């Protein structure tokens, strides 16, 4: 079994439970209150900001420019995603 398969098996209970989470089921069936969704998106913008920073650090340490360019493109996508809720 590969390392990623091992990790996937290890988190399987959490993975499966995520499908039953009220946020996900509410989002899927359209009953999630708008304020809950708005709060999530606002909080997620903090996550995306820090995730973008991590990607930028990785880009700066890439082995070559091709790799750096790929990572920098992800930084840009992340930046746009983090700004999405602001219109
Ligand atoms: C907690 C959390 N985990 C994953 C994503 C998924 N996601 C959506 S945009 C983006 C950046 C690059 O595409 C990522 C990782 C998220 N939004 N919030």
- pLDDT tens-place string over residues 27-67: 999 999 999 999 999 899 999 999 999 999 999 999 999 99
- Same domain for 58 and 75, yes or no, is yes
Residue among 37, 44, 53, 77 whose CB has most ligand 1 atoms within 8 A, to mutate = 44
- Same domain for 17 and 1, yes or no, is yes
**How many degrees, rounded to 5, is the angle at CA 74 between CA 9 and CA 79?**
110
ipTM entry: 0.85
Tens of pLDDT, residue by residue over 9-35, are 999 999 999 999 999 999 999 999 999
- Same domain for 22 and 40, yes or no, is no
- Same domain for 40 and 82, yes or no, is yes
Going from the Cα of 76 to the center of ligand 1, the distance in angstroms, rounded, reads 12
Going from the Cα of 2 to the center of ligand 1, the distance in angstroms, rounded, reads 25
- Ligand 1 atom nearest to CA at 47: 1
Residues with CB under 6 A from ligand 1: 44, 47-48, 51, 74, 77-78, 81
Q: How many domains does the chain have?
A: 2
- Same domain for 17 and 55, yes or no, is no
- Same domain for 37 and 16, yes or no, is no
Q: Which domain holds residue 83?
A: 33-87
- Same domain for 5 and 17, yes or no, is yes
């Amino acid at each position: 079994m590969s390392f990623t398969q091992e990790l996937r098996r290890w988190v399987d209970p959490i993975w499966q439970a995520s499908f039953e989470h009220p946020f996900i089921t509410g989002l899927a069936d359209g009953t999630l209150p708008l304020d809950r969704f708005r709060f999530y998106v606002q909080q997620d913008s903090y996550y995306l900001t820090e995730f973008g920073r991590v990607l930028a650090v990785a880009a700066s340490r890439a082995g070559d420019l091709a790799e750096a360019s790929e990572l920098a493109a992800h930084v840009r996508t992340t930046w746009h995603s983090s700004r999405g809720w602001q219109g």
